[in-house]
Structure 1
Amino acid sequence: MSTWSDNPFPDDIPLSSVKLAGENLGGGGQAHTVERLSDRPGWVAKLYKAPMTPAEAVTLGRLVALPHSMTEADLETLDRSAAWPVSRITDGDRTVGVVMAEAPARFYVPFNLRGGRRSGPRELQLDHLVKDSAYLTDIGVRPPTRQRRLEIACRFLELGAVLERHDVVYGDWSYRNALWDQDSDSVYLLDMDSCGIGTRSWIASPDWSDPAFPEGTPLTVPTDRYRMALLTLRCITGARGEPLENLSRLERDWPAGDTFPGLLRQALDRGDLRNRPRTATLLKALRSPGGNGAQTDVTPGSNVTGFRPVRHRPAEKTAGGTARTAEPRTRGPAPQPAATTAPGPGSRPSPAGDRKGAGQFIGCCIALALLALVVVLFILWA
């Protein structure tokens, strides 16, 4: 996997030195072509339809250099989860393209086609994640478990938090640019060369429009907060459509007392932009549920639409007429960074349970002492 940290390029390289492999991997938007570099495996060159303006070229130069000022943890997240620009491609005094890492192979999978055929490897996009399990099974992709959806959402939030800490405005959160891996919680974000710092020009993003930013309005960090919240909601629920309607369904099913749904609602609020929580705050709330968030209940095999508190169920009758108690399904621990050894919120000890266990232990000790006394008295009497 190629990353910004191990890139072999200077900040600027002349177009004449760029050796293209001759296979167009994609275009559209501002790109004329995207091609692999024949002499640098794992790297691609994106050539623009028109040279950048001087202001755009300056911003791209700042993006190329930005990781130098990041903490080790932020840089690790960036390397793992983003095709960050590593070098401007210049033609004289004009910036005509950019070099970036190619998305790792694990984000590409073959799809089932009609007639029993299989496609070649294709991007596994957020577009596929926001679908139901039946659709994913039909195209040959393993539907994510509820825990996987939470982990994927956390990974996107991790990256969004890094961008926000460095005042980077991505803006282009969409179904197409965000990739995920069906075998792990890995995510990958494309088209990072178009980011702004502090602000960026408005970009059309159908079904992701922030109502607080009308068409043509320059985008800022609050828009990224809105779109990150929307992406998180869709990752977890697998549902498209009206965000607030989907959020209302999630709120009804989410554990009472947990702060996460309320923070999501704040982030999706079209009112005072200052009330939109930071992406890092949203990440912390999802990773460490509060209140009753430790236990949840989701119907197996469902397209996850939220998380319900586990409730005690009445005893059910077996075929023989005897009673049995239904065993509740529980949510696993909230996703944690790989290095941590702390228990997830799903495994937090219950103070009430601790007191009950202590009482049982003391009771056993008293019973054993009484039994020993009886034995001693019996021996003396004999």
Structure 2
Amino acid sequence: MTGSTPADGGAAGPADVRRDWKLPRTVSLGDLGPLADPVSEHNGQAIAVRPLKDHPGWLAKLYRPGLLPEDADRLDLLISAPGTLPEADRALLYAGTCWPAARIQEPGNPAVGCVIPMAPEHYRSELRRGGFGERRFVEIDWLAKSDESIGGIGLPPPGPAGRLAACLRLTELAAILETLGLVYSDWSFSNAFWSPDRRSVYLIDVDGCQPEKMPDVHQPNWADPLTPPGTDADEYTDRYRIGLLVAKCMTGRRDAHAFHTVAASPWQNQPAVSEVLLDMLLATDRERRPSAAQLNRALDGGPYLRPSPRPARGELPPLPPPPVPRPPTPGDAENGDETEVTTPERPDSDLQAVGWIVVLTIAVVLLFLVTASH
């Protein structure tokens, strides 16, 4: 993966930027003309992301030295992949991602970087915090918070309809990647922008996609329990993470709260959505996780036809313990922070053991006092 950076979105470019400039599949730095100052540096595998002065709306994403010829082949595969899609899916992919348009090469280095489009301006919003405003890209992180928190920074609260629309777009993009046989793995809060006004999302860092499998980089709170450490991420890892991201964005709850909210009752009277998500998140066999296309269909009001009966509730892994909210701090209101602390309940057997230890301790003390008095 090439690292998560809002600079993949950059400043706004023309809405029809892909039609304005027809790039060859392979270019040199000289072909691109002068580069502007970096909008991001030393982030993941990218040493810099720089706007192209002569081509507004485009960025050069330059990689660290040491990439192999296989990386050039992989970039070529990604650049060509949209051409294999139906026109509607290709349009969705281009509109919703910073899909690489050309590979940058130089003598002796076949993978200097790639050319990517900038994110549209409507993914920026004015965020108000502590009496100050800042116009910036809105990460999808905010959808995993309450409508009250979102409204508190000056964004229009999405409500159920806005959350549903964003999750529909997310799962459309995930389904297209799955159709192409590509693993993204980086489904998380920082790798997508959200437009509250247009109820859409924009996926970044897609130039890190790999066919079939890729190294599974550890992401706190996004670890797949059925992808052991040290093994590769694959389509089933992607299914878990897109399910987790959708659960958090739909419910506005973070961490284990999302599990409990989805499991407690059908979400917004859509039982198929809850069923798909529970199978994605709680399946004991990773290959039985529903696909992104199945989740998208359920979100769109369609049915969910489970290929085999779900195991009885007692055979499913237990839900994570419900988080316990920590006491609020003065900065929470302005930051929309909803940090939670998970405190597992002490099993009854542990409580009984503690009780017996107390009783035995008192007995020993009493015996010592009686013996001393004689």
Give me the whole-angstrom Cα distance separating, in 2, the residues matched to 1:25 and 1:216.
Answer: 33
User: Structure 2 length normalisation: TM-score?
Assistant: 0.72
Give me the whole-angstrom Cα distance separating, in 1, the residues matched to 2:253 and 2:17.
Answer: 32
Give me the whole-angstrom Cα distance separating, in 2, the residues matched to 1:129 and 1:20.
Answer: 38
Q: How has the CA–CA distance of structure 1 residues 290 and 74 changed in structure 2, closer, same or farther, with 3 Å as cutoff?
A: closer
Give me the whole-angstrom Cα distance separating, in 1, the residues matched to 2:202 and 2:231.
Answer: 27
Q: Which of the numbers 112, 129, 145 marks the counterpart of 1:96?
A: 112
CA contact (8 A) 1:51 1:96 kept: no
Deviation at 1:247, TM superposition (A): 2.6
Which residue in the other structure is 1:68 paired with? 83
Deviation at 1:250, TM superposition (A): 2.2
CA contact (8 A) 1:11 1:88 kept: yes
Q: Which of the numbers 282, 286, 308 marks the counterpart of 2:295?
A: 282
1:189 partner amino acid: L
Give me the whole-angstrom Cα distance separating, in 2, the residues matched to 1:82 and 1:187.
Answer: 9
Which residue in the other structure is 1:369 paired with? none
Which residue in the other structure is 1:139 paired with? 153
Which residue in the other structure is 1:77 paired with? 92
- Deviation per CA, 1:290-319, whole angstroms, max 9, x where unpaired? 59xxxxxxxxxxxxxxxxxxxxxxxxxxxx
Summarize the alignment of residues 146-295 of structure 1 with structure 2, pairs less than 5 Å apart: 146-242=160-256, 246-254=258-266, 258-269=271-282, 271-288=284-301
Q: How has the CA–CA distance of structure 1 residues 151 and 33 changed in structure 2, closer, same or farther, with 3 Å as cutoff?
A: same
* 3-state SS of 2:113 partner: strand
Give me the whole-angstrom Cα distance separating, in 1, the residues matched to 2:128 and 2:139.
Answer: 15
1:74 partner amino acid: D
Q: Give RMSD over aligned pairs.
A: 2.0
Which residue in the other structure is 2:54 paired with? 39
1:105 partner amino acid: E
1:117 aligns with 2:132: yes
Q: How has the CA–CA distance of structure 1 residues 67 and 172 changed in structure 2, closer, same or farther, with 3 Å as cutoff?
A: same
1:19 aligns with 2:19: no
Q: How has the CA–CA distance of structure 1 residues 2 and 54 changed in structure 2, closer, same or farther, with 3 Å as cutoff?
A: farther
Which sections of structure 2, spanning at least 5 residues, go unmatched? 1-14, 305-374
2:261 partner amino acid: R
- Deviation per CA, 1:4-44, whole angstroms, max 9, x where unpaired? 56652111111233334423222311111111110111111
Q: Which of the numbers 107, 115, 118 marks the counterpart of 2:123?
A: 107
CA contact (8 A) 1:7 1:86 kept: no
Summarize the alignment of residues 320-339 of structure 1 with structure 2, pairs less than 5 Å apart: none
- Deviation per CA, 1:256-276, whole angstroms, max 9, x where unpaired? 782221211111135212211
Give me the whole-angstrom Cα distance separating, in 2, the residues matched to 1:207 and 1:218.
Answer: 18
* 3-state SS of 1:97 partner: strand
Give me the whole-angstrom Cα distance separating, in 2, the residues matched to 1:22 and 1:232.
Answer: 36
Which residue in the other structure is 2:64 paired with? 49
* 3-state SS of 2:248 partner: helix
- Deviation per CA, 1:301-340, whole angstroms, max 9, x where unpaired? xxxxxxxxxxxxxxxxxxxxxxxxxxxxxxxxxxxxxxxx
* 3-state SS of 1:112 partner: strand
Which sections of structure 1, spanning at least 5 residues, go unmatched? 292-382
2:277 partner amino acid: L
CA contact (8 A) 1:21 1:38 kept: yes
Q: How has the CA–CA distance of structure 1 residues 29 and 82 changed in structure 2, closer, same or farther, with 3 Å as cutoff?
A: same
2:259 partner amino acid: L
1:123 partner amino acid: F
Which residue in the other structure is 1:318 paired with? none
CA contact (8 A) 2:270 2:301 kept: no
Give me the whole-angstrom Cα distance separating, in 1, the residues matched to 2:50 and 2:95.
Answer: 21
* 3-state SS of 2:101 partner: strand
CA contact (8 A) 1:83 1:190 kept: yes
Deviation at 1:86, TM superposition (A): 0.6
* 3-state SS of 1:80 partner: helix
Deviation at 1:75, TM superposition (A): 0.2
Q: How has the CA–CA distance of structure 1 residues 76 and 36 changed in structure 2, closer, same or farther, with 3 Å as cutoff?
A: same
Q: How has the CA–CA distance of structure 1 residues 162 and 201 changed in structure 2, closer, same or farther, with 3 Å as cutoff?
A: same
> Bigger CA drift: 43-52 or 5-14?
5-14
CA contact (8 A) 2:283 2:289 kept: no
Q: How has the CA–CA distance of structure 1 residues 260 and 138 changed in structure 2, closer, same or farther, with 3 Å as cutoff?
A: closer
2:264 partner amino acid: R
CA contact (8 A) 1:3 1:80 kept: no
Deviation at 1:93, TM superposition (A): 3.6
2:285 partner amino acid: D
Give me the whole-angstrom Cα distance separating, in 2, the residues matched to 1:232 and 1:150.
Answer: 9
Q: Which of the numbers 45, 49, 62 marks the counterpart of 1:30?
A: 45
User: Structure 1 length normalisation: TM-score?
Assistant: 0.71
Give me the whole-angstrom Cα distance separating, in 1, the residues matched to 2:164 and 2:46.
Answer: 33
1:108 partner amino acid: R
Give me the whole-angstrom Cα distance separating, in 2, the residues matched to 1:5 and 1:265.
Answer: 41
Deviation at 1:133, TM superposition (A): 2.4
Give me the whole-angstrom Cα distance separating, in 1, the residues matched to 2:113 and 2:146.
Answer: 38
CA contact (8 A) 2:147 2:252 kept: no
